Structure 1
């Protein structure tokens, strides 16, 4: 089947009103990205899972593990842009097979749906994860580093990337590899929100695992800005890190939160929270991102913590 880029067939100089489909729109990242896109004048169609509310012109239910559902939604929306955020993202998720059903096969279903209905969006941005790098002894991991996933979440994202690359010659796909990021609204089963919630309610103690693991933590508002800018950038068939280049250990985050709140928190190390597959240090190089979207500036992590504590 010959795919036709319908978005490029509009007359030159005609006013543009882009329709952008965002999967996982009701999730942590999706809510911030939708706001960014709406502010830029996009008509955003939020693709969400579950719920019993009827579909609306801008909100539609989808089960990405169903090829039929993906074809139905893509044929109905025929978006100019698509951002695929829907995923099982919590490393400790109970059923390992869910990572592959959702993260790999779900993504494949969306790509195959585009082919099945003969629609080529202007850009498809697909969110992967820097967890695909695994344990790397480098303070600045760039996109050329080999992949070495150490858990099912990371393995599913690496498999997803390998599959998506086979579509580079058929669809204008860009894979974003975000490093860790956080912000208001992230679930408290993630580490930084857990720490923030304990300081915010001035709890006497907190149970954590290894507090010396270090991550390149970004602000979710920065990540959403990077995704929005990458949609506009003249780049496809590429993989791009989304990160700041500055790692913070949990020990440093605890100290910063203590300084911001004036509250001392007793840290109790729970061996049950120490996973042997934990990546010890993960910090990325944002050089490629900066070259593609130089106007997007990161937010200092202490400001992110201050913002979260003020919620």
Structure 2
């Protein structure tokens, strides 16, 4: 990674840079001396040296942006990530075809970056009854989001011999700035405004929740690590049920709210328990330490 003796800082293109994870990763990379070029969609203002418009569903735009930037590193975060998104086809257009457009653009312009770190999801594991899912577990996706990410991974494997690709499978993570249609921000917002009640689905589902700052640190460290052609879980190995999170938030705020189970929020395909093994991650980047979830919750509640 960049040091005081480096003549030119690394140029790192981050897709989905204005999203929840992207904002934290851009900050992390910039602090480490990278020149970050943020690729964002849906902007009207003109491109700048560090911010470009990119619709990854357009092969032509992918080629144009990559040819103009010629990044040392690519971090591909752009995706449709809300499981309840309305149009199933969008998952495949963006998550599979969009990713294919990026790697094909590298080939088309004859550019091989030092590394492409591409975000998949632990949702690809599906409804697995295990407290420590490692990277060798079979993929059994149960919704379109997970199926699109599994398809993306299968496609990327065919590129492992041509490009230095590292696929990360983050488990659930949260933090300040995450949209309230995700569970933990929804819970936090209800406690923060001392709402009398909250409507939730199954509060006994358990997830391996990480802090977004830990995830950003792991991504940055994995860029520097001597590893490619691999898949790595990004997780803590410690699951928490929504019931436990509600209890912790109540203790932190001194507020109690009535929990109303809304059958409309209970999806038949909900994965009951999802907890990963971070063993491989810890071997590759031992310096990256996870953040206790109670600290994440406290940080979010004091926003």
For the superposition of Structure 1 and Structure 2, which TM-score range results when normalised by the shorter chain?
over 0.9
How far apart are 1:76 and its partner, in Å?
A: 0.6
Tell me the residue number matched to 1:264.
256
Q: Distance in 1 between matches of 2:42 and 2:7?
A: 35
2:230 maps to 1:238:
yes
Tell me the residue number matched to 2:285.
293
How far apart are 1:14 and its partner, in Å?
A: 6.0
Tell me the residue number matched to 2:187.
195
Q: Distance in 2 between matches of 1:100 and 1:80?
A: 27
Counterpart of 1:305 (choices 291, 297, 301) is 297
Tell me the residue number matched to 2:221.
229
Q: Distance in 1 between matches of 2:225 and 2:43?
A: 34
Q: Distance in 2 between matches of 1:302 and 1:92?
A: 27
Tell me the residue number matched to 1:51.
43
Q: Distance in 2 between matches of 1:41 and 1:86?
A: 23
TM-score (norm 2): 0.98
Q: Distance in 1 between matches of 2:236 and 2:8?
A: 33
Tell me the residue number matched to 2:273.
281
How far apart are 1:17 and its partner, in Å?
A: 1.2
Cα-to-partner distance string for 1:8-27 (whole Å, 9 max, x where unaligned): xxxxx862410000000000
Counterpart of 1:67 (choices 19, 37, 59) is 59
Query: Where does the alignment leave 5 or more consecutive residues of structure 2 unmatched?
Result: none
In structure 2, relative to structure 1, the CA distance for the partners of 1:68 and 1:212 (3 Å cut) is same
* Aligned length in residues: 299
Counterpart of 1:253 (choices 242, 245, 249) is 245
Tell me the residue number matched to 1:158.
150
Tell me the residue number matched to 1:204.
196
Query: Where does the alignment leave 5 or more consecutive residues of structure 1 unmatched?
Result: 1-12
How far apart are 1:53 and its partner, in Å?
A: 1.1
Cα-to-partner distance string for 1:187-241 (whole Å, 9 max, x where unaligned): 0000000000000000000000000000000000000000000000000000000
RMSD, aligned α-carbons: 0.7
Tell me the residue number matched to 2:10.
18
2:151 maps to 1:146:
no
2:108 maps to 1:137:
no
Counterpart of 1:36 (choices 28, 32, 43) is 28
TM-score (norm 1): 0.96
Q: Distance in 2 between matches of 1:14 and 1:29?
A: 27
Q: Distance in 2 between matches of 1:220 and 1:307?
A: 11
2:89 maps to 1:117:
no
Secondary structure of 1:139's aligned partner = coil
Tell me the residue number matched to 1:6.
none
